[in-house]
Amino acid sequence: MDLIQKIRDANLLGRSGSRFPVFEKWVRLSEKDGKKFLICNGAEGEPGVFKDKYILNNEPEKVVDGIEKVIEVLDINKSFFYLRKDYLKLFEKKLKNLFTAEIAIKRKDDRYVAGEETSVINSIEGNRGEPKIKPPYPTEQGLWNHPTLIHNVETFYAISEIANDEYKGKKFYCISGAVKNEDVFKLDKDLTVRDVLIKTENYPKFDFLVQVGGGLGGIFLSSQEIDVTCNRLASVKVFDKKKFDEKEKMKSITRLLMHGNCDKCTPCREGIYRINEMLNSGYYDRDLLEEIILALEKSSYCPLGKVAGEVLNSLMKLYDN
């Protein structure tokens, strides 16, 4: 059975957090003639997410194998491995020794947003790492306007497993915060947050809440709401409820976002700034917060602003209760 069919049967979803069907991207790319590019995205900029690092540390050969299988199957002309600065230091040598195909390693721009796929493309093209308008999607017009396939490190890892008939429907979970075993775990892909905590022997004995999906892009849930799957990045951070201050959290998240965004669109550039300003000056205007969150969620340019809206919304609701 060919790899494309195997990927389809496995119903593999992208592991960057977007959960976009891998097969669909491949179909779009395989319909294209001419030059095609591939990017392996190792930006991993989400605080509290370190699964790509874990994979590159322990099984980099699988990632490279995944990339090289795809190069062959989809007839890719040129490939790039995009890595954040510290990962570059750690893994560049090791990866280069593993490459048998021609793969260029590129350093990530420093900003948080530079891990988003169109920003990655901008950055590799030599532009500022900030998002481009979609559509056109990268599979239509990516690097230098050529069709481009972009997957996360873990996605290539899973592709390799599928290609070699080793795939058992597992993915990597990052557990951090107020837990005993802060680590990366390879578990069934559709576990609920509760099950993840139980299986990793991390279920807290105290009153707690969690952030699911990363330190900036993760939604906050109370301990009553954890019977949901990790539907973005598989990361769970546990907080002791007694020590948790929603407003302080909002403050630190907005501060990080202000430094991590691209400043292109109004709600993200100005809205996040105003929320941060409000919290810093010690008052809490819930109506204003709600207004800005709505604009962020529904009218931001790229996923960063939209997700920021959802995250702040979850914190606002926790605070309400």
Partner 1 sequence: MIIKINGKNIDNVKEGETILEVARREDIEIPSLCSHSDVCVRGSCRVCVVEVKGCKDYLPACATEVYDGMEVITHNPEIQKIRKTNLELLFSQHKEECDDCVWNPGCKLLYLARRYFVEINKFDDRKEEYPELSFGGIVDFDSSKCIDCRNCLEVCPVSFLEMEGRGHLFEVTPSKEKACVYCGQCINHCPAGSFEADGEFQGVFKPFEGGEDKEIVFQIAPAARVSISEEFGLDLGTVSTGKLISGLRKVGADKVFDVSFGADFTTHEEAKEFLEQTEDDLPVMTSCCPSWVRFVECFYPDFIDKITNVRSPHIILGAVIKELSQNPDNVTVVSVMPCVSKKYEITRDELKTRHGRPVDHVLTVREVGRLFRDKNIDFLSLDEGEFDNPFGAASGNSISYGASGGVMEAALRHAYYLKTGNELMDENIKNREEFSFEMNGRKIRTKKINGLSEAVHLFEKLQENPNLYDYIEFMSCEGGCIGGGGQPVPTNERIRRSRRRGLIEEAKSKKVQPTHANKEFKKIYNKIKDKKELFYTTYTKKSPIEKIDTN
- Number of other CB atoms surrounding residue 198 within 10 Å: 12
Residues near partner 1 (CB under 8 A), total: 26
The edge-to-edge listing of strands for the beta sheet with 148-152 is 103-107, 78-83, 37-42, 148-152
**Distance between CA atoms of residues 155 and 213, nearest Å:** 16
d(CA 250, CA 246): 6
CA 267 from chain center: how many Å?
Answer: 21
**Residue 240 CB, nearest approach to partner 1 (Å):** 30
* 266-305 footprint of partner 1 as x/- string (CB under 8 A): xx-xxx-xx----------------xx-xx-xxxxx----
Which residues lie closer than 8 Å to 245 by C-beta, 6 or more apart?
none
Contacts of 303 (CB under 8 A, 6+ apart): 18, 116
Least distance in angstroms from the C-beta of 173 to partner 1: 26
Chain centroid to Cα 114, Å, comes to: 11
Q: Does 28 bind partner 1 (CB under 8 A)?
A: no
Cis amide prior to 135 (ω within 30 degrees): yes
263 binds partner 1 (CB under 8 A): yes
Query: Which of 33-41, 101-109, 204-212, 262-270 is the region at the interface with partner 1 (rule: CB under 8 A)?
Result: 262-270
Q: In angstroms, what CA-CA distances link 175 with 37, 186, 220, 311?
A: 34, 11, 14, 18
Looking at 85-93, 204-212, 239-247, 260-268, which segment touches partner 1 (CB under 8 A)?
260-268
Applying CB under 8 A, does 217 fall inside the site for partner 1? no
Q: Shortest Cβ distance from residue 137 to partner 1 (Å)?
A: 13
Interhelix angle for 286-299 vs 303-320, to 10°?
A: 150
Tell the smallest beta-carbon distance from residue 125 to partner 1 (Å).
15
Q: Which is nearer to partner 1, 213 or 260 (CB)?
A: 260
Segment contacting partner 1 (CB under 8 A): 56-64, 127-135, 174-182, 244-252?
A: 127-135
Binder among 35, 128, 170, 247 for partner 1 (CB under 8 A): 128
Of the pair 175, 312, the CB lying nearest partner 1 is at 312
Using the contact rule CB under 8 A, the part of the chain among 152-160, 186-194, 243-251, 258-266 near partner 1 is: 258-266
Please name the residues in contact with 253: beta carbons below 8 A apart, sequence gap of 6 or more: 216, 308, 311, 312, 315
Binder of partner 1 out of 89, 186, 259, 286 (CB under 8 A): 259
Under the rule (CB under 8 A), what is the footprint of partner 1? 128, 133, 135, 258-259, 262-267, 269-271, 273-274, 291-292, 294-295, 297-301, 306
